[in-house]
Structure 1
Amino acid sequence: MAKTPSKTPAKRAPAKTVPKPAAPKKQSSPKLSTIASKAVRGEKLTKAEIASLGGSVLSQDETAGQKKAT
């Protein structure tokens, strides 16, 4: 009786890498949007509003470190 050739295991396709989901975009709160709107319209802002708006802008900066103003 003739031997049948041994079956070689089927080759698997390489495992697909699943990309990481993109980080959610940072978004301003409605309160900060109102403060920004006041600033754009030229209304006077309180020191607290200025600090809040500045802090929000800086927290949304995605690059580390300081850059030279252009």
Structure 2
Amino acid sequence: MPATFILMYLSSIIITLFNIKSYEFREVLFLLYYINSACNPLIYSFFNVNFRNDIRRIYKYHKHIYLT
């Protein structure tokens, strides 16, 4: 999980350190921020059994509420 974080934010660090003004590079950076946010729930759901169980429990609870 830390590797995903480092990979997604490395471009931001490079832009800051080297003061890069490229519009295209900034667009890629913006896209990486969104990809990172989208990847986090997937990473947690694959690697954390407690997270999966809690999501199932919440889903079952809400499903029961709406059906009654």
Coarse TM-score class (shorter-chain normalised): 0.3 to 0.5
Q: Where is the helix percentage greater, Structure 1 or Structure 2?
A: 2
Q: TM-score, normalised by structure 1?
A: 0.36
Q: TM-score, normalised by structure 2?
A: 0.37
